[in-house]
Structure 1
Amino acid sequence: MKIVDAKVVVTSPGRNFVTLRITTDEGITGLGDATLNGRELAVVSYLLDHVVPLLIGRDPHRIEDTWQYLYRGAYWRRGPVTMAAIAAVDVALWDIKAKAAGLPLYQLLGGASRDRVRAYGHASGRDVPELFDSIRARQAEGYQAIRVQTGVPGLAKVYGVHRDGESAAEGRHPRPVVEDWDTAAYLRHIPGVFEAVRGEFGPELPLLHDAHHRLTPVQAARLGKALEPYDLFWLEDCTPAENQEGLRLVRRQTSTPLAIGEVFNSVFDYQTLVGEQLIDYVRSAVTHFGGVTPLRKLFDYAAQYQIKSAVHGPEDISPVGMAAAIHLDLAIHNFGIQEYSGHTALTDEVFRHAYTFTDGHLHPGEAPGIGVELDEELAAAHPYRPAYLPVNRLADGTVHDW
């Protein structure tokens, strides 16, 4: 079997997605997600100009060899653009291999380690009553674990907080929107929010919270300690973890579980964090980590330290990337939880998928491959639209982490 064609499809059925479609001489096709939110066209260029020409004529079954060829052969390694492009190739090749075998992907990864995959959803509100309504809405949808985000008094807009039912992609702008931030106000406000949520919803509901890289290690330690009475499932991205050593301070000061890694794209980003057991969950996405091949290796590495998986799964991971993640979730032993925001109805029409969400759990389905088909005609009817993530500034105008 040989690769005879590789095509990049860019579509925006509510938000932008980049998809690689690889075709073999036997007519088997595979899909891979190459979406990099806010930098989509950089990955498109990387694929079209530097990767696709190298794929034609290759044996699609040689997945590990192709991964190493694209990673080591480029000399300039790592980085989100490179790894998103490699991920798209990797997932497309796994899709082809599983289709050729007539099996769902998880069967090629060792078979199921569980019957279904627990997911968590997002609840947010500009104030506590609105947050309560959002939590109830997620529960009505079946979620049994919920990430809680809230507005902060005195701040006009906080990332991740919007009216319930409003997509995060709505109101997209061709230039970054500027949001404001006040760490002291946030640290004063958040413990009271979780006290109220626990008082309303009881002790058994798993609650998660994302600090979105905004805190220093000292501030993160203070927040983790303050949230201990409310028994969080985890505190996510409490500090920018490029400074891996900074998590030593956080870990010493709080027993709140820590989850990190959605902006990571290489195992080297995790070496200190995993080796010193400074975190409890690894958060990288199939789409941004180079695909199924390296993410499976990361999870095996993390398992030696009793660290679990928690694959990043926001709306800007396409159903192709989400499907690949769910297959991996089902197969690995040290699965923790899967983020799942769902997609717009139109996105689900463009990317028809076999995976299902029922009673707060996901299953990849039994279709051969990853179980996603791309409607290219419908995709073409929704062309790319420039859109950026926001930027954060302090009261004095300083650009801040967000």
Structure 2
Amino acid sequence: MSAADSDPNAPETDWSDRIGVSRPLVITAARVIVTSPGRNFVTLKIETDQGVYGIGDATLNGRELSVVAYLNEHICPLLIGRDARRIEDTWQLLYRGAYWRRGPVTMRAIAAVDVALWDIKGKALGAPLHELLGGKSRDRVMVYGHANGSDIGETVDAVGRYIDLGYQAIRAQTGVPGLVNAYGVGRGELHYEPADASLPTETVWDTRRYLAHVPKLFERLRDTYGPEPRLLHDGHHRMTPLEAAQLGKSLEPFDLFWLEDVTPAENQEAFRLIRQHTTTPLAVGEVFNTIWDCKDLIQEQLIDYIRATIVGAGGLTHLRRIADFASVWGVRTGCHGATDLSPVTMGTALHFDAWVPNFGIQEYMRHTPETDEVFPHDYRFEAGFMIPGERPGHGVDIDETLAARFPYVPRQLPVARLTDGTMWNW
């Protein structure tokens, strides 16, 4: 355990005094660490011949061990002996060098390597990641929290608690009358983990009831809290394009910050129909893996926020390209930041958010105290904003001794069926 782990006020190791930038940083080891301090996380640790190491997140919620196998069997052996400074070349090797490329498993494995190498480079240079990206575009990062309830009244109260905590933006979800286990209704006030069983839990869905109920929630929220809070809502890919258009239009009087994931985005052209019928801002992309998943959505300005995230979209190296492309078309970032991403991804995302010129907002779901202990970090929350850390690299570490106390626990995400039994999008 480092001094910074035992004493949060202790200075971080200054690798730059020992290493500089002139000598290669030869990778000598790459190890996968699986731990479950409240939920499962997959972490890649890359070590070099000069003692500096970096860590990256490879978590794929409900399919964690598939990425573990990909890393152990196919990626880690490729890394040994390579120069850790050559981040771009390594990214191209792992992407172009895999004939069967793209997809959530491959891109999460690449993201873990990419983030670990950026972490190493930051430590070697004695600089936080935002400095390596080009410096800050802002001093703090606006985030949104998740407020939910089994009914409208509970959700309204939950939004009030987030406002009291200083949040300026809040995602609001509510239970739907007649439906059990509605999406987004968590089992605690600040923590929400949907992966809940070793085999998928089956839930029931009825879009017609949902469409009739959700506008009532936002009418109550505006009547209660006025126009100031930025309000968001997640449809979780459950509507047809026309249903999504109807919801967007019905929510226009309540001035949402965004309406997220209204329909499955494999069909990017579907958003043309939605765009024609509503001015409610649209966000999508937490399940995207490459720029090709969102190229048409961005180029045709069919969305307002791109939600691709570092761990899902191949790391900092590739997410920067998505963000730069989005900036050309006036699309802003809104990175996914649920608890299925470890603090490693959150810490890295905040450096990205501090730098990216076309920043929109950052999702922020609080991790459990056990998770925060396993992954000590130097980012912090202040009155509705996150403040990125200033330690070299991404500023997040892993306490391997503590991590070993939380073994892997099989957990899968639920599935959904319509009321007639048809399998639907969860």
Unmatched 5+ stretches in structure 1: none
Which residue matches 2:12?
none
2:282 is equivalent to residue 258 of structure 1: yes
* Per-residue deviation, 1:162: 2.4
CA distance in 2, matches of 1:165, 1:30: 33
**Alignment equivalent of 1:93, drawn from 89, 96, 117:** 117
Q: Quote how far apart the aligned CAs of 1:163 are.
A: 4.4
Whole-angstrom distance in 1 between the partners of 2:191 and 2:168? 21
For residues 318 and 372 of structure 2, what CA distance do their matches in structure 1 show?
Answer: 27
Match of 1:140 among 143, 152, 164: 164
CA distance in 2, matches of 1:355, 1:108: 17
Q: Residue 33 of structure 1 corresponds to which residue in structure 2?
A: 57
Q: 1:354-376, CA deviations, whole angstroms, 9 ceiling, x for partnerless residues? A: 11111111121110000011000
Could you tell me which residue of structure 1 aligns to residue 351 of structure 2? 327
- Please tell me whether residue 75 in structure 1 is matched to residue 99 in structure 2: yes
User: Which position in structure 2 is the counterpart of 1:128?
Assistant: 152
2:137 is matched with 113
Say if 2:190 and 2:366, in contact at 8 Å, map to a contact too.
no
Distance 2:323 2:384 in 1: 23
Percent sequence identity over matched residues?
Answer: 60
2:148 alignment partner, SS class: strand
Q: Cα distance 1:163–1:380, how it changes in 2: closer, same or farther (>3 A)?
A: closer
Name the CA distance, whole Å, in 2 between partners of 1:359 and 1:217: 37
The alignment of Structure 1 onto Structure 2 pairs a total of residues equal to 402
Q: CA RMSD in A?
A: 1.0
Paired residues of 1:125 and 1:164 also in contact (CA < 8 A)? no
> Where in structure 2 are there 5+ consecutive unaligned residues?
1-24
What is the aligned counterpart of 1:20 among 41, 44, 56? 44
Q: Deviations over 1:223-267 (max 9, x none)?
A: 000000000000000110110000000001100000000011010
1:84 maps onto 2:108 in alignment: yes
Alpha-carbon contact 2:343-2:377 (below 8 Å) kept? yes
Q: CA deviation at 1:165?
A: 2.4
Amino acid at match of 1:141: L
Q: Is the 8 A contact 1:143 1:360 kept in 2?
A: yes
Indicate conservation of the 8 Å contact 1:286/1:321, yes or no: yes
Cα drift, residue 282 of structure 1:
0.3
Given candidates 272, 284, 289, the residue that maps to 2:296 is 272
1:210 to 214, 227, 234: 234
* Contact 2:142–2:362, Cα closer than 8 Å, also in 1: yes
SS of corresponding position for 1:372: coil
Deviation at 1:169, TM superposition (A): 3.0
- Report if the CA contact (8 A) 1:125-1:163 is conserved: no
Higher deviation after alignment, 285-294 or 140-149:
140-149
SS state at 1:121 partner: strand
Structure 2 residue aligned with 1:201:
225
Q: Distance in 2 between matches of 1:252 and 1:287?
A: 32
Q: Compute the TM-score of the two structures, normalised by the length of structure 1.
A: 0.99
Q: Given that residues 124 and 164 in structure 1 are in contact (C-alpha distance below 8 angstroms), is that contact kept between their aligned partners in structure 2?
A: no
Could you tell me how far 1:164 is from its partner in structure 2? 4.0
Aligned to 2:177: 153
Determine if contact 2:141/2:387 at 8 Å carries over to the other structure. Answer: yes
Please tell me whether the aligned partners of residues 190 and 365 of structure 2 are also in contact (alpha carbons under 8 angstroms).
no
Q: Which residue of 1 aligns with 2:80?
A: 56
Q: In 1, Cα distance between the equivalents of 2:147 and 2:189?
A: 10
Q: 1:203 to 1:166 in 2, by over 3 A?
A: closer
Counterpart contact for 2:194–2:413, Cα < 8 Å: no
Q: Is the 8 A contact 1:120 1:147 kept in 2?
A: yes
1:128-154: CA deviation from partner (whole Å, max 9, x where unpaired):
111122112212222110000001011
Q: Specify the alignment match of 2:326 in structure 1.
A: 302
Give me the whole-angstrom Cα distance separating, in 2, the residues matched to 1:210 and 1:306.
Answer: 22
From 239, 255, 258, the counterpart of 1:234: 258
Q: Tell me, yes or no, if the aligned pair for 1:155 and 1:181 is still in contact at 8 Å.
A: yes
User: Is 1:398 matched with 2:422?
Assistant: yes
8 Å contact kept, 1:264–1:284: yes
Please say if residues 134 and 164 of structure 1, whose CA atoms lie closer than 8 Å, have aligned partners that are also in contact: no
